[in-house]
Chains A and B, each alone.
Chain A
Amino acid sequence: MEARMKQERLYDEDVYTVHPEDYRALCERLAGEGYDFPRAISGIDMGYGLRVTLQLTRMKDLAKVTVRTDVPYDNPVVPSVTDLWPGVEWYEREAYDMLGLRFEGHPDLRRILLEDEWALHPLLKRYDTGGYPVPGWEPKPWPDPEPWAPPPPPEPEEAGEADEGGEAS
């Protein structure tokens, strides 16, 4: 898991970017670490794929953490975390509704804001505001290095500092 995880500090949050296969394992680890308050799950259309952003708070010491993972358009499947935090149930449904992200293991994954008959996932960038296809829209190539690739190993003289910073959990 560590090999496919990028960890950074953004403002006051720890941000983990992980491979979709490791997403569930990381969430379980965070749940074990006491992150109990789910703030939101956001789906973002990155142009090359769909990003799931899970934001958590630990009520005990108010530590904040963000978990990101990217999935391709043709197979937007992410494991659901509703059993860990029931409060994300509607957020996962909303992400499914708006972006077509499918959360595996969700107890009741169906549209929440739009009607069931709709075939449109309106927040995808391939649709414009009115829900019409954007002419000439093409998905971007998958980024290289991948989003969860850890940053390249630092210069030897700075290695010590980086290690200290990277130990935060």
Chain B
Amino acid sequence: MSQIPIPEDRHFRPRLLGYDPQKSRPWLERTVYSAYVFVFWLIVIGTYAGVPALFGALGWDSGWGFVLMRTLQVVLLFLLSAVIALLLILLLRKYLGKVQERYGPMHYGPAGGIQTVFDALKLLAKEDFVPAAADVLTFRLAPAITFVASFAMFAVIPFASGWVLADTNVGLIYLIAVSTLSAYGVLLGGVSSGNKWALIGALRAGAQMVSYEIPLALVFLTVAVWSGTLSLGGIVDAQLGLWNFLPLALPFVLYVIASLAELKHIPFDFPEAESELIAGYNVEYSGMSFAFFFLAEFVELFLLPALIVVFFFGGWHGPLFGLEPGSLAAGALESLYFTAKTAVWVWIFLWIRATLPRYRDDQLMEFAWKAMIPLALFGLVLAAYLRLIWR
């Protein structure tokens, strides 16, 4: 008869049957995740410094060579997004385990390190089912739209000074356009599934989108007004002395809330709402189609915190220890700062996910229309006024 220990304090660790608690091996976990982050960092350096340097050395940086270079960068970014998704899913599960007094995945790979690789492989080989009631073309297209929309946001994310695929001067407008697109994928996927739960999920996604997009756009506008530019690199540069979250405290808070809504993240995960809508918009998706929704969700879980960092926390800024700005070493260090700041925000999002229940969908809409939009407008006016008298 197994005896359950009566724990001495509130925050005890469970004793597993037949498993040594030492097996959790925190040093191993740290090593594995550091390795993942290292791979991530290497890909970033390779994409933004390695590939241009290589092509520059070969003299292929114009004409078709340029096209080839950009293509290679995009392929590397795709790899990066896969690494992000695999790492974040694993981190989410391990972190939920930590919060919930258990271990989380730990048996496959060192410290559970290749668990998500197995998951991805399994989904790859699983039957990709199209229901009879579905609209096949839209049903197939929807995950792709969602994923491409999330992935396209990478184009304007500055990982370090100058390390950006397209440092366009309409970066913010591009972001608004592209981030809204990902909701279309959810909407189309839900509607085309021919399932009522998916339909409700899609309708919720649509209703949610029109609610949070307006405060989100207003916050974008505030940041643009404050920084005097629409380019993301310019926004980061404008924060050299003072990070935006201090003068723009109100838009910052609104932006975090709206990001949670855009991510379809607890406490605003209404389109998915597992305990209400079974799986919401992706209820009929299996195999790889589902994996793409999953992938897009976790890529966004990286990108939206990254945007918080870009807009409010000085992007890649950090002490350079005398490194020459613009050099490879400085770029690598800056991208590390950027990643670290983003990681803190990812962790905050995971923390919210592990802790909070879910609001009701109309409560978000009410909050968005009655509180967030007026507050965002107020923040915009305030930022414009401050900008007039200060800068």
Whether A and B touch (Cβ < 8 Å) is answered with no
Which residues of A are at the interface with B, using a C-beta cutoff of 8 A? none
